[in-house]
Each structure stands twice: as structure tokens, then as C-alpha cells.
Amino acid sequence: MADSDDKQQPKMTSSFWFDEEVTADHSMRMRMTSLKYDKHSQFQRVQVVETVPFGTTLVLDGKTQSAKNDEYVYHETLVHPALLLHEAPKRIYIGGGGELATARECLKHKSVEEVVMVDLDGDVVDVCKKHLPEWNDGSTEDPRLTVHIGDARSYLVEGSDTFDVVVLDISDPIEAGPAVHLYTKEFYDLVRQKLNPGGVLVTQSGPAGLMNHTECFGAIHKTLAASFRTVVPYSVSIPSFGSDWGFNVATDRGDITSKSLREKPPDATDAAISGRIRGPLRHYDGGTHLCMFNLIKAVRDGVEAEDRVITEANPVFMY
């Protein structure tokens, strides 16, 4: 008979899990290996967790903001289509962007001379510098970048600066969250005044999947369309978000249309990337561009049918 020490040990079935609700009735559950940071800032709960599928992950008020294994998908999708729409963007404004990855992507453009980033929560910026250094990737050492801690709207109201591209990398419009007023028609009218001729605005726009695109994606598009001549919605799959994710790009230029972006030849996008961006991209190219700008029918129909315009008096919240 074998010695008791040689017996097969029982399988361990207990572990720590990170559970995030995508909707009221749907959640994602991930094995968590460590909780690196968990504190309340002046504005929100800030967490940095380590999960098996997604690696180091920034979580604000219970919502994943970006994860190591797919953050580049989100940030390349947010930044490059908008900057490449402008002929030669020199001055960029980033509202939010605490992880510093949006700044990282903007600074890859050869024409960019100055990036001004304004994030409300200095604690988030500091936490990301310490725990998410890959997101930064040296952008804070680039003399073209200036980071201000403060309200993104107040900076535009109080300043006289104008910009070629405005990139809104802000928290989701969650009720009582810090960024709700940055999704309103009043704010988009302000941004429009701060754009130079030919300027472009792009904003992250919440969930855009089959089951959740009606939360705020269409309403953000409708609101932008009340302020800008042309607004084009697009989306990308981001696994750590548990959904396809939406974006809207807006401009008053008459030569840009939804059709021109949906049918842009892949070779043209690839040539622009090669000529205007330093270094290779991991996600965005000509083929990916077509996937992003050609929404599935249900989401297209939902955006088309949307009639909500978000205002200070009538906000729209996502779950």
C-alpha cells in the first residue's frame, strides 16, 4: 500500500474572482491573482487588479477602463482615425486620458507639435504612472505633452486655446459619475468653438454591442449631430469590456461623410499610417478600419432610430 504522502492531493477549487456587471442582468467573471490598489479618490473609487485573462486592469467605480492585454485596441481606435482625418494636426486636446495611453498614441503622429491633456483626477494619473507604466511608454518625457489636473470643460471655457483635434477619453456617463456633463450638447457646442477650421472631435461613446447599444451610443451620436455637420459612428470589439465598444467622430468639413469612411480603400489608410505615424501599430490598419466603420445592421438601425439629445437638463446614463 502506498504511503499516505504519495496519495494524490485534492484539487484546489477556491480562488479570488473579479466580477464586473456589464448590464443589470449580465456580468463577466475573471480569475484575479492580486489586488494592487484600491482606494477612493476625491471623485471615484480607483482600483488596479491583476486578472488571468486580461493582465493588469484599471477599474474606476467598478467599470474596467483599460486592461494590459487589449488596451492598445481601445486607444488606437480612439486616436488614429480622428487624427488621420485631419490633414496635418499640430495641436491636440485630450479630455481625460488618465492612463496616458491616449497621449502615447497622439504623440506617434509626426505632425503633432503640442498635446494638452486635462484629467480631473490626479490620483488616477499618479496610480497609472506607478502601476501601468506600459500605458505611458515614456509619453510624459516628451516635451510636446503638457498634463493639467482639472476639469476638462473648465479648461476650455476659461482658456483661449484652439485645437486641430479634440480627443475625449473620459469616464462613461454613469449617474453621479464625474464625466456626465462632457456628453451634452452644451459641451459639444463649446468644443466646436475651440476647434480650428477643419478640426475634428472624437469621443468614446459607450457600449455598442448587439444587446447594449441603446444605452448611450446612439444618444451620443444624435447629440453630436445636433452640433456638427458630419458625425460618423464606429465600433470595435474590446474583450475586457465584455462588449463591442462605440466611438463617434465629428467635424464640420464637408468632404467627410459616413460613406467615405465606410468605403475608404484599405491601401489609402495603410499609406497614411506609414507616412504619418512613427512606428508600427498593433491593431489599426486599412482592413481593420473597414470593420470598425461598418456597423452591424441592428446597431445601424438603433443609431438611425435614436431621438434623444443629451443636455444638461436631460442627461442620459449608461448602466
> Parallel, antiparallel, or unpaired for β 63-67 and 55-60?
antiparallel
What is the identity of the amino acid at 224?
L
Please say if 169 is a catalytic residue. Answer: yes
| Widest Cα–Cα separation across the chain | 86
CA–CA distances in Å: residue 222 to residues 91, 178, 217, 303: 27, 22, 9, 8
Cell of 236: 470595435
Tell me which residue has cell 506609414. 274
**Active-site residue identified among 169, 244, 252, 285:** 169
The answer for residues whose C-beta is within 8 angstroms of residue 233's C-beta and 6 or more apart is: 205, 208, 217, 218, 221, 246, 247, 248, 295, 303
Cβ neighbours of 280 (radius 10 Å): 9
DSSP state of 92: E
List residues with catalytic annotation: 169
